[in-house]
Structure 1
Amino acid sequence: MKAGIICFTEHGVLLAEQLVNGLAAHGILCEAWLKKKEYRSALPVEVAFLEGTLSEWTAEQFRSKDLLIFIGSTGIAVRSIAPYVQSKKTDPAVIVVDEQGRHAISLLSGHIGGANELTLLVAELTGAEPVITTATDLHGKFAVDAFAARRNLYMDSMPAAKEIAAALVDNLKVGMWSAFPVTGVIPPELDTEGEEPLGFSIDVQKTSPFEKTLHLVPKAVVLGIGCKRGTERAVIQELVEEVLEINGIFRESICKIASIDLKKDETGILELAESYQVPFLTYPAEELKKAVCEDGFAESAFVESVTGVGNICERSALLAAGVQKLLIPKTARNGVTVAAAVMDLTICMED
């Protein structure tokens, strides 16, 4: 995680220095700046003087940082970030600490961006009193967006997430369903019996166990891909997305793409992996032969004669996922083969 800190007074510099060192101990890489010229003469090494405008600084921090900390007034922070606020899904966490270090306020992205938890950490490091205003936290209720963010689960509907939060604040029960094993204590406000009209599912597939379902999607699907040399990305992607759609799989669930090492420089697959922002793994034929499939492989004598192994897509998907059961068996078209496997995953309810 990367953080940017801005301060405006001499005492603010001391707080910034304290936070840079304290947050670093928690694995958060911080950069800090001072805006006021009159305090620039004796800055510690942890704090630089800001040459540009505060607006320029804020714009750059929104692009490059996960956390912004304003050591100053809430008004300065609000006016600074207002032009750049876009979405709860993408905005960084923003925290305001007053110049005397008395209060640490979670201002933006309390749940998904982690500002609420980070505010507690900032308060601990500075001795400030944490100020958190999100309703579920104030009522001590389960927060589905925070739950998803901490587990890197994609949420398919912010309106549904808000509806769930409102229901929980109103002391209503919300349904929960998971395709994966669940450990830990399930909050009492969540109903796992499937009797509620509103709820959330945890799955890579578009299952809808409730009348209104929020889908929380883990990154757990591995695509195995084979193709003729020189196949364009568009041709590969067309088959991949068709296969995902037919099988009701969220594209956001893809965590890896795998193939044989003969394809390690295959431009079309590399471009697809880059567009999906996932790693591309390759294995030698001898390694692929070690893969095991519960239902057997769709082998090809021709493919084996060329590559040394009779099936690339299914074997590479299973090997990269570390499992023995396919989620999607081989589909072939236009010289492209696609298969998928889902990694073993356990959902822990406790942080």
Structure 2
Amino acid sequence: MNSLRTAIISVTAHGAQLGQALRAHLTSADAVVSSQVVCFEKEGRTSGASATTFTSMKPHMETWFTTYDRLLFIMATGIVVRMIAPYIKHKSEDPAVVVMDEQGQFAISLLSGHLGGANEWTAEIAEVVGATPVITTATDVNGIPAPDVLARKLQCKVEDFTTLKEVNAALVAGETVPYYIDDTLYFLHHYEAVAKAQGIELIRFNPHTVTGKALLETGGAEAPPVVITDLILPTGPRTLVLRPPTMVLGIGCRRDTAKELILTAISESLANVNRSPKSVASAASVIVKADEVGLLAAVKELQWPIHFFTQEEMALFIEQSQLEESKFVKETIGVGNVCETTALLQAKSQTLLQTKTVYPRTTVAIAQVQSK
């Protein structure tokens, strides 16, 4: 997992000192997750250590909320609730928010407890300062492994949040929820190990067999099942599908190609390999497309990150992998293979699920992610 961006915000001198102590821990080797930590301290009530000062929180709140993965507020809970309320969107987007009093007596998981990791983070920082962790999500207080926690651990996206609520309700009600995993996934053994560490046993199924397909359609149990796969498969109406990040889409396009044409090419490519767009880890292209309006708009709409490679990086890879090049494209931008090369580079892979496929003004290749 990449280093998390963390902000610690305090409004008293004692709170600022507490924040600095936590900053030291969160950037140390003992931290559960590596973190890039910035302390924000109120003017006139600072710790004296390295920090960014502010006079009022309100002008900065939207930036903090949208920039950082985790926010720790050392102050009264009521202040925090009022400040963050206008910016709360959805559990799939909101940062983890934890509140702690300036004496370090209580640490409260306030927002994004599961997908954002606020519950685990609350327990971690409470242990560091000797605080009492306050966690109120039903699965946690009942000691039940939750599918959204597993989703975060596996870096999966949740297909349907309505179904997620239904599964969590079934777990709290004492029902046994089965967890199934597509045994064709590249990181199968890693997923199984992570799930086992969470107290969850994954049941393997083969999506290409009659038995595997029947299992998905029926659910195999009375309780709503959880399925981990990147494939588009028929499932029962109460099935929660978790989408692991398994693909990179390399995209080439002509100058000023419309967003709609690129989105159509992407959609048809994913349909071609029968994969979910929620399992796309990233898009990739050549650096000369970094200002391509249609491409940037398309990946923004899909909520995908995109990485742009230089011609030098691509040329070396093309030579080493002996990839076929287009003479016209090479004369235009300096390298003759954009979509396959950038997809494989970003996926750190040698496996293409879809080779270069030509669409109107666009080319798309899909690479299997083969490195964590």
Partner-residue secondary structure (3-state), 1:4: strand
The residue type paired with residue 76 of structure 1 is: I
1:243-281 residue CA offsets vs partner (Å, 9 max, x unmatched): 22454422232234456xxx5524658647863322134
| Code of the aligned partner of 2:278 | E
Q: Tell me if 1:217 matches 2:217.
A: no
Residues matched between the structures, number: 330
Conserved in 2, the CA contact under 8 Å of 1:173 and 1:190?
no
Aligned to 1:265: 288
Which of these residues, 124, 131, 135, is aligned with residue 138 of structure 2?
Answer: 135
Q: Is the 8 A contact 2:75 2:101 kept in 1?
A: yes
CA deviations on 1:83-110 (whole Å, 9 max, x unpaired) are: 3222111112111212321111111111
- Give per-residue Cα distances to partners, 1:105-131, cap 9 Å, x unaligned: 111111111111111121122111111
User: How many angstroms does 1:216 deviate by?
Assistant: 1.6
Aligned to 1:45: 49
Q: Deviation at 1:165? A: 1.2
The aligned counterpart of 2:203 is 192
Residue number in structure 1 paired with 2:126: 123
2:258 is aligned with 1:230: no
Cα distance change of structure 1 residues 243 and 34 upon mapping to structure 2, 3 Å threshold: same
**Aligned residue identity for 2:68:** K
Do the aligned partners of residues 14 and 173 (structure 1) sit closer, same or farther apart at CA in structure 2, a change above 3 Å counting?
same
Gap change, CA 1:57 and 1:327, over 3 Å in 2: same
Distance 2:63 2:341 in 1: 44
Which residue identity does 1:121 align to in structure 2? E
8 A contact 2:245–2:280 mirrored in 1 = yes
Is 1:106 aligned to residue 109 of structure 2?
A: yes
The answer on 1:288 being equivalent to 2:318 is yes
Within-5 A mapping of 1:134-213: 134-179=137-182, 180=185, 181-182=188-189, 183-184=192-193, 186=196, 192=203, 194=215, 195-196=220-221, 198-213=224-239
Q: Provide closer, same or farther for how the CA distance between residues 278 and 177 of structure 1 changes in structure 2, counting only shifts above 3 A.
A: farther
Q: What does residue 349 of structure 1 align with?
A: none
AA matched with 2:92: K
Which aligned pairs between 1:31-110 and structure 2 lie closer than 5 A? Answer: 31-34=39-42, 40=44, 43-46=47-50, 49-52=53-56, 54-110=57-113
Percent same amino acid among aligned pairs?
A: 34
Write the letter of the residue equivalent to 2:255: G
Aligned residues of 2:11 and 2:45 also touching (Cα < 8 A): no
Q: 1:255, 1:278 within 8 Å by CA — same for their partners in 2?
A: no
Equivalent residue, structure 1, for 2:306: 278
What's the offset of the Cα at 1:307?
5.1
Q: Which amino acid aligns with 2:42?
A: L
> What is the one-letter code of the residue matched to 1:244?
L
Secondary structure of residue in 2 paired with 1:327: strand
Judged with a 3 Å threshold, the aligned counterparts in structure 2 of structure 1 residues 22 and 287 are, in CA distance, closer, same or farther, namely closer
Unaligned runs of 5+ in 2: 205-214
How does the TM-score come out when normalised to structure 2?
0.74
The aligned amino acid for 1:82 is: A
Query: What is the SS of the residue equivalent to 2:306?
Result: coil
Partner Cα separation in structure 1 for residue 46 and residue 357 of structure 2? 66
Aligned twin of 2:211: none
Structure 2: which amino acid aligns with 1:6?
Answer: I
Aligned residue among 32, 38, 63 for 1:30: 38
Report the secondary structure of 2:14's partner residue: helix
2:144 and 2:171 in contact (8 A); partners too? yes
Letter in 2 for 1:29: V
Following superposition, the deviation at residue 31 of structure 1 comes to 1.5
